[in-house]
Amino acid sequence: MSLRMLVLAGATLLLGACVEAPPVEPADDTSAQAAAGRSVMVATPARAAPSAEAATPAQQPQAAPALKAPEQQTGGRGYRHRLVEADPPFQVQPVATLSEPWAMVFLPDGRLLVTQKGGQLRLVNVASGNIGTIAGVPAVAYGGQGGLGDVILHPQFASNRRIYLSYIERSGSNYGAVVVRAQLTLDASGGGSLSNVERVWEQVPKLGGQGHFSHRLAFDGSQKLWITSGDRQAFDPAQDMTGNLGKILRLNDDGSVPADNPFAAQGGIAAQVWTLGHRNPLGIAFDAQGRLWSHEMGPAGGDELNLILRGRNYGWPLVSNGNHYDGTPIPNHDTRPDLEAPKAWWTPVIAPAGMIIYSGNLFPTFRGDAFIGGLASQALVRVRFNDTSAAEFRRYPMGRRIREVEQGPDGAIWLLEDASNGRLLKLVPPA
């Protein structure tokens, strides 16, 4: 090949990285939430049983959702340009197998804390695959969507050894999420224990049923603790400021309320609230600019990715891009411009769970993109941002429900499968 032809070929590759291309929209996995399109019908929301998240038989829809007039099936306004990268851009390495793993976080020594929904906290040596146990976890109420949930480290973990756990507790016939902090001590046998366990936060009120707890956790750069709290399949509490259901909360690391929270002047439970009108937010992450993003499960259609803005109302159950499970339509987001609309949405649903916004160096073309686990979609969903706009960019079929996504210290991406024999997977660049 002549030098002139080599130069032209290289220029073509560079231009290809900037060419607009249509969004990739592989078919969603069959699920209780699968529904297509939009409707112009406006009606008062019915109180029908929701959730694509492993619902019990009583929670399944009684009738197929009403179809809505065609609109964007995957909504959003982010970049959709081609990238010069391998296809697929990673290879999958199984590392360990756990029982219903739910969340994970890396320790400074490279080992991994993993929660199991049944109530166990595991310590995984990712180099050897050995799995130890951390004793001292509070008793959890396991069932439905409930059990042991998220785990994160305090920003000053190296000096205070504090971790934070979320889990479900039972009071009589009612249930609610709780967040505690504790000190972690590791032992020489590959396990450890918790001590000085302190309650930091709880859902108010506790309700019957075992769905839509959410209880995802994150710390920001100012050491503020963020908690997602689902609507508990009760709809109206998401708009009720006397409780903290259907909200995203912002607290100090000890559970006290920051004086600059948007509703602090109201006092009580309302003071905890940063945003309201959420359904079942199961992923939360900060981008490089310090902006908070959260995704949540919609009803029959209308899973959402939201940019979380101080004091805003995100509309549930007043508006949605989906229908109720019994087919009753819900007014579209554009009927209520006073309520915050999602930056991206999915119909058919992906049933999102877990999320990172990638910041590593192992995958240079991933930097700044969000990666969301898909339960019903059994996929890893990649979202690309354009400032505060977002849209699905690619979807990688994984063959199993993906519960959690985490970025490793070396920039690898780690996944947890949602299963009784759920695998811990490491994604690395192709050989």
Q: Compute the chain's Rg from CA coordinates.
A: 21
Q: Which of 154, 165, 152 is nearest to 120 (CA)?
A: 165
Active site includes 212?
yes
Q: For the chain, what percentages of helix, strand and coil (3-state, to nearest 5) are there?
A: 10, 40, 50
In Å, how far are 348, 351, 373, 374, 401 from 30, measured between CA atoms? 9, 11, 16, 12, 12
Torsion (CA) 76, 79, 84, 85 in degrees, nearest 10: -40
Amino acid 405 reads: V
Catalytic residue among 212, 295, 324, 333: 212
Q: Which of 263, 240, 334, 349 is nearest to 298 (CA)?
A: 349
- Phi and psi of 335, rounded to 5°? -80, -15
- Phi and psi of 158, rounded to 5°? -60, -30
Strand 389-397 vs strand 402-407: parallel, antiparallel, or unpaired? unpaired
In Å, how far are 139, 418, 426 from 99, measured between CA atoms? 17, 9, 17
Q: Say if CB 18 and CB 81 are below 8 A apart.
A: yes
Buried/exposed code over 79-88 (b: 16+ C-beta within 10 A; e: otherwise): bbeebebeee
- Quote the DSSP letter at residue 20: B
Q: Say if CB 355 and CB 415 are below 8 A apart.
A: no
The Cα–Cα gap between 341 and 332 comes to 9
Contacts with 198 (C-beta within 8 Å, 6 or more apart), sequence order: 180, 181, 182, 254
- Residues carrying an active site annotation: 212
